[in-house]
Amino acid sequence: MFKSNYEPEFKEMVICLHLEEGRIIGSITKEYHLGKGTVLFLDIRPIKIW
């Protein structure tokens, strides 16, 4: 299985699209070619916003 490492800025952007802008996970995964569980995984990981 292939594991990708995403930049912290990309993770923050994806989570903001989902939580703050109300985008559904399906549209984000299609737009950014992510796996089905990637957005859910990123969503539960803590992110520091400076």
Q: Are 13 and 2 in contact (CB under 8 A)?
A: no
pLDDT of the residue at 15: 83
Q: What is the pLDDT of residues 22-33, one digit of tens each?
A: 888 889 889 999
Half-sphere exposure of 45 (CA within 13 A, CB side): 13
User: According to the model, what pLDDT value does residue 37 have?
Assistant: 76
The percent of residues above 70 in pLDDT, for the chain, comes to 70
Report CA-CA distances (Å) from 39 to 1, 49.
17, 18
CB within 8 Å of 32: residues ≥ 6 apart: 14
For the cut 70, the answer to whether the pLDDT of residue 10 exceeds it is yes
CA angle 31, 19, 11 (to 5 degrees): 60
> Mean per-residue pLDDT for 22-50?
73
Q: How far apart are CA 47 and CA 33, in angstroms?
A: 21
